Chain A
Amino acid sequence: DQQVKQNSPSLSVQEGRISILNCDYTNSMFDYFLWYKKYPAEGPTFLISISSIKDKNEDGRFTVFLNKSAKHLSLHIVPSQPGDSAVYFCAASLITQGGSEKLVFGKGTKLTVNP
């Protein structure tokens, strides 16, 4: 049962344009959402996050939007740069009964920014 879904396995955009990466989730108990960027053969690196009590968080070229009623979040990158080309993972945080944090990841979307 995929609790976090990234339905687009890949996305290609032109340099300077906007990249929009989408993520849907099913568990209403998720209270925090994060985006990670991953290059081949490397571990993911944290990009931006948003609490479930907010609907927008912005950090430079990166903005994450959260629509709780639709259980949908998106990452906007503008302007896109060739160096942004990577796999982007959406992750949702859940606090377990034991009080520890657990991250549930989507399958990732491979972004290619063409010069």
Chain B
Amino acid sequence: GAVVSQHPSRVICKSGTSVKIECRSLDFQATTMFWYRQFPKQSLMLMATSNEGSKATYEQGVEKDKFLINHASLTLSTLTVTSAHPEDSSFYICSVPGPGLLYNEQFFGPGTRLTVL
């Protein structure tokens, strides 16, 4: 399966600062990447779909000005949590669709644990 990396794996920051999370597809180029957020004992919630060369598509209720997504290249997407607050503390995971069929599985990164103090 595809290898997807995320950096950093864990970050602790003060309220009001911005945090950037990188997601890299190491095995193949990805025109689309997905960003999820998971709160404790909750399901993974899709935040946005990152599209290389165009704007990200955000899910309903996700603030695009707060969660900035940049799909800089076919192997890199970044999520920036701007002016982070304690309620933004969560586990952020990116995924890359498998190559080939449209209904193929997604390959997930290891996740980034964000703690905002």
Q: Across the interface, do B46 and A43 meet the contact criterion of CB distance under 8 Å?
A: no
CB interface residues, A 67-89, toward B, < 8 Å: 89
CB interface residues, A 17-63, toward B, < 8 Å: 31-32, 34, 36, 41-46, 49, 51
CB interface residues, B 36-51, toward A, < 8 Å: 36, 41-46, 49
> In the assembled complex, which residues on chain B have CB atoms less than 8 Å from the CB atom of A44?
44, 93, 108
Tell me what chain B mostly uses at the interface: helix, strand, loop, or mixed. strand
Tell me what chain A mostly uses at the interface: helix, strand, loop, or mixed. strand
> In the assembled complex, which residues on chain A have CB atoms less than 8 Å from the CB atom of B41?
9, 107-108
For this complex, into which size category does the number of interface residues on chain B fall? 20 to 34
What residue of chain B has the Cβ atom nearest to residue A99's Cβ? B102
Q: Across the interface, do A100 and B32 meet the contact criterion of CB distance under 8 Å?
A: yes
What residue of chain B has the Cβ atom nearest to residue A90's Cβ? B43
How many angstroms between the C-alpha atoms of A89 and B108 in the bound complex? 13
Q: Across the interface, do A43 and B111 meet the contact criterion of CB distance under 8 Å?
A: yes
Given contacts A102-B46, A108-B43, contact A93 B103 (CB under 8 A): yes
Interface residue count on the A side (C-beta < 8 Å): 28
How many angstroms between the C-alpha atoms of A115 and B7 in the bound complex? 36
From A46, A93, A95, A107, contact of B43 by CB (8 A): A107
> In the assembled complex, which residues on chain B have CB atoms less than 8 Å from the CB atom of A2?
43
From A46, A100, A102, contact of B1 by CB (8 A): A46
What residue of chain A has the Cβ atom nearest to residue B105's Cβ? A46
B30 smallest CB distance to A (angstroms) = 13
A109 smallest CB distance to B (angstroms) = 11
Q: Across the interface, do A106 and B43 meet the contact criterion of CB distance under 8 Å?
A: yes
Q: What are 30 residue pairs bridging A and B, where the CB atoms are less than 8 Å apart in the complex?
A: A2-B43, A9-B41, A32-B103, A34-B105, A36-B108, A41-B110, A42-B110, A43-B4, A43-B93, A43-B111, A44-B93, A45-B108, A46-B1, A49-B103, A51-B103, A89-B43, A89-B44, A95-B102, A100-B57, A101-B97, A103-B44, A103-B46, A103-B106, A104-B46, A105-B36, A105-B43, A105-B44, A105-B45, A107-B42, A108-B41
Q: 9 tightest CB-CB pairs across the interface, nearest first?
A: A43-B108, A46-B105, A105-B43, A105-B44, A32-B103, A107-B43, A44-B108, A43-B110, A43-B111
